[in-house]
Amino acid sequence: MDFAFTLNPTLAKQMFGAKINGIEKPLTTKVSHLDIVELLVKDQATYTMNDWINFANSSKAQFEINKELA
């Protein structure tokens, strides 16, 4: 989740899932520096969930999630 919000906050808000090394994983999965991450998104949709704030570690992700939920 932090990766997605660092990469592209707009895209992160459209994210409904992720693949890590080609395998679908929960958005709360921690990634290592060698992992290949694919964000699963839908255009024109916002999936920001209330519980995302509990899993966001970076201040950027927390800020963007709080802004979306406000």
Q: Render pLDDT for 22-44 as a digit per residue (tens, 0 to 9).
A: 999 988 888 899 999 999 998 87
**Domain span holding position 14:** 2-69
Backbone torsion region of residue 38, taken as left when φ is above 0, otherwise alpha when ψ lies between -120 and 50, otherwise beta: beta
pTM for this model (two decimals): 0.74
Report pLDDT for 37: 92
Question: Is residue 20 packed enough to be buried (19+ CB in 10 Å), middle (13-18) or exposed (0-12)?
Answer: middle
The one-character DSSP state at 54 is: G
Q: How many domains is the chain partitioned into structurally?
A: 1
Report pLDDT for 23: 97
The answer on pLDDT for 12 being more than 90 is: no
In this prediction, residue 58 has a pLDDT band, given cuts at 50, 70 and 90, of very high
